[in-house]
């Protein structure tokens, strides 16, 4: 148990009157129950560095947007390339894996996208939006792996998701609801992303990878749940329902038994409630609407309350 979980558990025992004031004072002499000054300074440095990088890159983008009609094409490319070259040079001279190197590499990732957008806007290449995001993600992949930064990986994951969703939107008539195959493709791609976040990132030096795992799990469960809900009603979406049942069972086994993750398991629980509600609605499709609506409302309220109580108990066991 790390210091944060230990402090949280001790404070919970104090609130439950399992520890008195004298015992808590004795514990304070042995364990740190509140963040020290250096902990706040480390957090402030990281937050301010990330905010500074984002604001500087945003300032460059707004500069181009405001002065777009007044600047010649060559000046635009020189300024954008110079900013990218400066951030890359600062990353090279910074100490390896330091906050300065991670910040400059993250800036390089952002400026790469700005340069690609500038090229597309200047020459009107006619490329679809998903091609811009795909090119951006491919070009910054070495920088992301070199930085070993969660912010850089978060940007990369977001670009991959935008590439996927924009590609689907371009090749479908009615977004995701046109064919069941599109939903399956999106789910398969997000399965690979979840495996990458869960298994590969710790080997690449990203120890605190949980936020990326949560993002990948949410991106996976969204198309799975949509396909399963439609699959209850439409015959053509039955493979999506079967895929949902299989993958949700595997994820439940992994995140509840093998490697407990309360956040992902909570997503699985409420996704299951949505699919079960759809199944119950299909059973009472031809009955009285007043009776069916009240029954569905009662099921949603009861199952959500039960899931919340279960999750609270699991969280207490996890922090104990």
Q: Are 2 and 318 in contact (CB under 8 A)?
A: no
pLDDT bin (cut points 50, 70, 90) of residue 1 is very low
Distance (Å, whole) CA 86 – CA 78: 12
- The least confident of 3-17, 81-95, 104-118 is 3-17
Residue 268 confidence (pLDDT) = 93
Residue 31 confidence (pLDDT) = 61
pLDDT tens-digit map of 132-156: 899 999 999 998 988 888 888 989 9
Q: What percent of the chain is modeled with pLDDT above 90?
A: 16
Q: Residue 236 corresponds to which tokens in the numbers above?
A: 């053509």
pLDDT bin (cut points 50, 70, 90) of residue 62 is confident
pLDDT bin (cut points 50, 70, 90) of residue 25 is low
> Of the ranges 53-57, 99-103, 124-128, 268-272, which is most confident?
268-272
- The least confident of 39-53, 177-191, 207-221, 274-288 is 39-53
How many alpha carbons fall within 13 Å on the CB side of residue 88?
12
Q: What percent of the chain is modeled with pLDDT above 70?
A: 81
Distance (Å, whole) CA 109 – CA 236: 41
Q: Residue 136 corresponds to which tokens in the numbers above?
A: 């951006």
Q: Which residues contact 90 (CB under 8 A, 6 or more apart)?
A: 100, 104
pLDDT bin (cut points 50, 70, 90) of residue 77 is confident
Residue 65 has pLDDT above 90, yes or no: no
pLDDT tens-digit map of 180-212: 778 888 888 899 999 998 888 888 877 777 888
Residue 250 has pLDDT above 50, yes or no: yes
**More confident call, 205 vs 35:** 205
Residue 319 confidence (pLDDT) = 56
Residue 51 confidence (pLDDT) = 79
Q: Which residues contact 120 (CB under 8 A, 6 or more apart)?
A: 127, 132
């Amino acid at each position: 148990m790390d210091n944060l979980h230990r402090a949280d558990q001790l404070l919970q025992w104090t609130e439950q009157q399992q520890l008195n004031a004298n015992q808590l004072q004795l514990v304070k002499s042995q364990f740190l129950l509140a963040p020290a000054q250096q902990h706040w300074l480390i957090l402030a440095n990281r937050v301010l560095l990330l905010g500074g990088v984002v604001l500087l890159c945003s300032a460059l983008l707004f500069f181009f947007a405001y002065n777009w009609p007044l600047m010649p094409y060559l000046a635009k490319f020189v300024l954008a390339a110079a900013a990218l070259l400066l951030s890359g040079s600062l990353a090279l001279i910074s100490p390896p894996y330091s906050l300065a190197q991670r910040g400059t590499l993250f800036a390089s990732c952002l400026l790469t996208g700005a340069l690609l957008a500038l090229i597309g806007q200047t020459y009107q290449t006619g490329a679809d939006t998903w091609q811009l995001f795909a090119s951006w993600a491919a070009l910054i992949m070495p920088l992301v792996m070199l930085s070993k930064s969660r912010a850089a990986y978060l940007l990369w994951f977001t670009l991959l998701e935008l590439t996927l969703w924009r590609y689907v939107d371009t090749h479908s008539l009615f977004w995701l609801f046109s064919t069941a195959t599109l939903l399956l493709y999106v789910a398969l791609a997000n399965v690979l992303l979840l495996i990458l976040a869960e298994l590969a990132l710790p080997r690449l030096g990203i120890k605190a990878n949980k936020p990326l795992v949560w993002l990948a799990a949410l991106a996976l469960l969204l198309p799975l749940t949509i396909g399963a809900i439609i699959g209850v009603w439409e015959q053509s979406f039955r493979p999506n329902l079967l895929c949902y049942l299989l993958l949700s069972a595997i994820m439940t086994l992994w995140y509840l038994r093998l490697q407990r993750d309360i956040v992902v398991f909570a997503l699985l629980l409420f996704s299951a409630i949505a699919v079960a509600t759809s199944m119950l609605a299909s059973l009472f499709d031809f009955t009285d609407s007043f009776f069916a609506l009240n029954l569905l409302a009662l099921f949603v309220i009861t199952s959500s309350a039960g899931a919340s109580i279960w999750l609270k108990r699991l969280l207490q066991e996890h922090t104990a």
